[in-house]
Amino acid sequence: MKKSILLGLIFILFFSSFQKNKTATLSGNIEKFNKTPLLVNDFKISNSFDTIHLINGGFNQTIQTENACFKTLKYEQAQKDIFLAPDYSLKISFDATNFGNTIRYEGKGATENRILDSISIATRNFNHRFVYTQPLEIATKYIDSTYDAYQKYFEKLTITNKVDPIFFEYEKESLSYSAFALKTVLGLQNNVKDTSYYHFFNKIAIENDKYLYISSYRSFLQYYINVKTRFILAKMDSLESKLPHAYSNATLKVIDEIKNQKLKEYLVFENTKMKLEFEGADHFEKQKEYFKKNNTDSTYAREIRKIYTRKLLLTSGKEAPGFTCADINGTNYSLTDFKGKYVYLDFWATWCGPCRQEMPSYIKLQSDYKGKDIVFISISIDENKESWEKVVKESKADGLSLITTGGIESNVAKAYQIIGIPTFVLIDKAGKLINSQAQRPSDNDLRKTLDTLLKNQ
């Protein structure tokens, strides 16, 4: 009997120790607390934040940390990364009126997070504009030399401050994958087909699931999949590569080649989520079955169900969400004003490069279909009204130019579930959706669609 009790106690102590190693404590105090919620994200669902329980600005919360990880804290519109590892007891204090510049750390993990802040400040000086406007060779040399300097600065900080070895590893990898991600993006943007450009793929860990807790690794992984997908498409003949779903099928083939199951499930989830978010729930069945077959993670499954349910509101035949927005003269227009005509909506902003690239095609489209039973309405999510007015006056477009109040967080943007711009929507004469992810003005298939609709009316 005594032996059984002793064994039971040993098991309890072991289990308690095991549980302890899976969590960290995040506590602290918000000075000048104004009842704004403090949020913390989970890497699995990049845009999903959990609310930290606050009592008069104070908090003490257990955070699940299966591995060491970077998490993002969000307070009002400000965000910052923190580093947590099992058994950390990190205490954070800050002024509610100046979250980013007043944060202080105490407890286990304080030194690591102070160093993380120093690196974050240093990397803000990285000249992204220079990188994207220079020839590829110059841009990549700048990336290599700059990130080499960041690595040396980081190592210098850790020489004078004893840090957790896992933090040292993760931050070094974070900086490395930031550089790799940038170079991969440049290769994609410059449509580099020479595989030798991506020689660094052979020198780094492509499949390491513990690095999923590093945001720059996750970014790199997505770009890596895009590069591999393009390599597959390049080997197809031109007709085959232009078939519907060719890109999507090639992407799934690349993901299928991933051997690490945890990484594969993450990539399947991200690919499925992006397809849903950017293409909608119409014709989603094949991807849905692929996701079910290749995913065992309940968190991913719940998120896909949530997005799918939301996207069903914008499938073909559903009532198009109503809106009221003002034009440059302050006159309000609503969707109901255009019943009896087809409506082509363009969600855009003056600061959006791809939006501006579509503008010449959009203006020509309006001109070519002028006098026909279709209305072209651009809805800007600009928060700087003066910039919008300037562009509208300069464009001299035939269509109707409107602006929202609240930008991407406006009611109309939320109703149409806008997560990226430009987004185009086609609505029928009865005010029902034809396609919530319609073709761009520069796509010849759009003209075929419009011609068919106008011919069969």
pLDDT, average across residues 53-67: 90
Q: What confidence category does residue 173 fall into, taking pLDDT thresholds of 50, 70 and 90?
A: very high
Which has the higher per-residue pLDDT, 86 or 43? 86
pLDDT, position 5: 46
Q: What is the DSSP letter of 432?
A: B
- Model confidence at 187: pLDDT above 90: yes
Judge whether 19-108 and 324-455 match in fold: no
pTM, entire model: 0.82
Domain 324-455 has CATH 3.40.30.10: yes
Those residues with Cβ within 8 angstroms of residue 418's Cβ, 6 or more apart along the chain or in another chain: 347, 381, 408
Averaged pLDDT, 212-225: 94
At residue 392, what are phi and psi to the nearest 5 degrees?
A: -60, -45
Structure tokens at 186: 């440049």
Residues 138-161 have a mean pLDDT of 96
Q: How many Å apart are CA 403 and CA 327, to the nearest integer?
A: 6
| Two tokens, residue 145 | 């030399």
Give 18-55 pLDDT, tens digit per residue.
444 589 999 999 999 988 999 998 777 767 788 999 99
Structural contact between residues 147 and 131, judged by C-beta atoms closer than 8 angstroms: no
Q: What is the pLDDT of residues 382-397, one digit of tens each?
A: 999 999 999 999 887 7
Q: Are 34 and 96 in contact (CB under 8 A)?
A: yes
- For residues 327 and 404, is the Cβ–Cβ distance under 8 A? no
Average pLDDT of the chain, as a whole number: 90
Give the pLDDT score at 2.
Answer: 45
pLDDT for 45 equals: 74
Confidence of residue 120 (pLDDT cuts 50, 70, 90): very high
Bridge partners of residue 346, in order along the sequence: 378, 424
> What pLDDT was estimated at residue 33?
92
User: Quick check: 418 pLDDT over 90?
Assistant: yes
- Within 10 angstroms of residue 194's Cβ, the number of other Cβ atoms is 8
Beta strands in 139-198 (DSSP E): none
Q: Across residues 85-98, what is the average pLDDT?
A: 94
Q: What is the pLDDT of residues 310-324, one digit of tens each?
A: 999 999 999 999 999
Candidate CATH numbers 2.60.40, 1.20.120, 3.40.225, 2.40.50; the one for domain 19-108: 2.60.40
Burial readout 391-430 (b: 16 or more C-beta within 10 A, e: otherwise)? bbeebebebbbbbbeeeeebebbeebbbeebbbbbbbbee
Residue 66 has pLDDT above 80, yes or no: no
Structural domain boundaries in the chain: 19-108, 134-314, 324-455
Give me the sheet containing 38-42, strands edge to edge.
45-52, 38-42, 69-75, 78-84
